[in-house]
Structure 1
Amino acid sequence: MQAEIDAVDYSVPPQELEVRIARRTLARVYVRGSGVEVGAGTRPWPLPLGTSCFYGDVLDTEGLARYFSATGSAYEGFIDAQTFAGIPDQAYDFSLSAHVLEHLVNPLGAIEAALRVVRPGGIVMFAIPDKRHTWDNPRPVTPLKHLISDYVTGGEDTRIDGCLEHIRYLHPQWAPPIPEEQHQEEAIRLANAKFDTHYHTWTSDTFIEMIEWVEENLGGSILHKELVFNENIAVLRKNV
């Protein structure tokens, strides 16, 4: 899809406006050519004029309309953000995602996959919520050693743990608490259904720790890192 406009809607609340302007500015600085964005939903990354982007998701148009309770999501075809399966190596100049990695059981593996599908010198840019400024605030921070373990194993062995955190810390924010004696059974049920929740959490400090590990181990050099309101944004360049 050809990028037609990189304008920002100034009618949104000030904190949301701050995020959108930051994303647009970073895209203007770093994004060129053709790329891919996964999980854009109703808020695709504002892109510079003259770029093109393929928008992929694990949900189809109808599924996205139900998920966001609104139509108009950016969607052109299926892409699994965890693996980018089916996309050739070095197919794009850039890869984007915002508030996607926290939904995956293996975030480091997903970053590695995003680096795989961009060309040498290409850009991988992503935003992850900072738990201190979202409904994830009551939850413990995911340590780097947990993320590395998920990278090594694929992450499925800790999916139940993520569901347990959802039951203990997130579910009571919206519904009556589940009795503690039922937590394990309910977590297993949710994990088997591959329940959509945040499986990991970050603060700005642990986010930086993670992307520094990526720089040392996965072949992406850090060009930019920033906390903007409730999200941490990183820009990586694939090493040549």
Structure 2
Amino acid sequence: MSTLTSTPQPTSAPLTGTEARRAFVVSHLPTHKRGLEVAPYFNPMVDRSKYDVFYVDCIDNDEIQRKASENPGGVGQYVPRIDAVWVPGKSLSECVGGRKFAYAVASHVMEHVPNPLGWLHEILECVEVGGRLAIMLPIRTQSMDYYRQSTTFGQVVGWSIEKPSRPTPTQVMDFLSQNFFHRGEAIVEGMMPRFEDASRHYSDSQALQYARFVWDTQHYLDVHCSTWTPETFVEVFTRLRDVGLLNVDVVGPFTGFPGATTAEFLAFLEKRG
């Protein structure tokens, strides 16, 4: 198990911004072989013009294009076409035709997944032994999830048993009732207002209405189902490995690498034999 790592800047003139971020991630992957990226949307981590990569998402190309056209962040961005749809109710392996990949990437995806352990198992099934899954996640304490509690080992195990296919009323309630309006500025511990004084997106009553709504209608409401810090990621995934629920080694996590924001971290899950 690697310790938490803050990566020093390289001595040569580095790339900047998104390109530097991508370069750091792919430098830890066997990109001379074919890889898989889950939900690249309009900001793929692995550039198809440079690498042999297979893109997959849970919605089709028409729906992706529609969503991107309605997203202010997607204006003017290139939205690559995906190669396969991860159809609900079918395994990822089925959806990609049984292909195996040398590595996989999922950037800012896992926090939206209601059953993260089940989701990871499906991705790792498509990765060769010795291959890596790169995961990039928001840091809870530097995001709109600041006032929430970090996801626990018990929650991850419980969700893997319950196997929710959409965010649960509890996940929806926790996200909507505990997040706050965050403009992306750095959060300084000890300088934050009390939760009661924070500017919120939703009142408790509104959160309750949404939680009941998703239960009554089986509606899929996209929320942050899980929350992480680099430290809690290591703690939870060490326990998942040690109890035999995930056959991987953790490499990282990494923070402060070139192009990264202060609100995200990167970790790799390396598949054991």
The whole-number CA distance in structure 1 between the counterparts of 2:99 and 2:116 is 20
Note closer, same or farther for the CA distance 1:177–1:231 as it changes in structure 2 (3 Å cut): closer
**Structure 1 or 2: more helix by fraction:** 1
Q: Percent identity?
A: 18
Given that 2:93 and 2:99 are in contact with CA atoms closer than 8 Å, whether structure 1 keeps it comes out as: no
Gaps of 5+ in 2: 1-13, 183-198, 257-261
CA offsets 1:83-110 (integer angstroms, 9 cap, x no match): 5252355611111101101111011111
Given that 1:105 and 1:159 are in contact with CA atoms closer than 8 Å, whether structure 2 keeps it comes out as: yes
Alignment of 1:35 onto 2:50: no
CA offsets 1:30-55 (integer angstroms, 9 cap, x no match): 22300110111121114598631111
- The corresponding residue for 1:233 is 266
- The corresponding residue for 1:184 is 208
- The corresponding residue for 1:203 is 229
Alignment-mate amino acid for residue 84 of structure 1: L
TM-aligned CA deviation for residue 165 of structure 1: 1.7
Given that 1:58 and 1:79 are in contact with CA atoms closer than 8 Å, whether structure 2 keeps it comes out as: yes
TM-score if structure 1 supplies the norm length? Answer: 0.79
The whole-number CA distance in structure 2 between the counterparts of 1:170 and 1:221 is 32
Q: Aligned Cα RMSD in Å?
A: 3.1
The whole-number CA distance in structure 2 between the counterparts of 1:213 and 1:143 is 10
The whole-number CA distance in structure 2 between the counterparts of 1:236 and 1:198 is 21
Gaps of 5+ in 1: 1-7, 11-16
Note closer, same or farther for the CA distance 1:135–1:66 as it changes in structure 2 (3 Å cut): farther
TM-aligned CA deviation for residue 166 of structure 1: 2.8
SS at match of 1:94: strand
SS at match of 1:30: coil
SS at match of 2:249: strand
- The corresponding residue for 1:52 is 52
SS at match of 1:24: helix
Given that 2:230 and 2:253 are in contact with CA atoms closer than 8 Å, whether structure 1 keeps it comes out as: no
- The corresponding residue for 1:169 is 178
Alignment of 1:21 onto 2:20: yes
Note closer, same or farther for the CA distance 1:212–1:24 as it changes in structure 2 (3 Å cut): farther
CA offsets 1:37-75 (integer angstroms, 9 cap, x no match): 011112111459863111111223343344342252233
Note closer, same or farther for the CA distance 1:201–1:179 as it changes in structure 2 (3 Å cut): closer
SS at match of 2:56: strand
Alignment-mate amino acid for residue 44 of structure 1: P
The whole-number CA distance in structure 2 between the counterparts of 1:179 and 1:223 is 39
Which protein is bigger by CA-based radius of gyration? 2
- The corresponding residue for 1:74 is 80
TM-aligned CA deviation for residue 116 of structure 1: 0.7
Alignment-mate amino acid for residue 234 of structure 2: I
Given that 1:89 and 1:118 are in contact with CA atoms closer than 8 Å, whether structure 2 keeps it comes out as: no
Greater relative contact order (Cα < 8 A, sep 6+)? 2
SS at match of 1:29: coil
Alignment-mate amino acid for residue 39 of structure 1: A
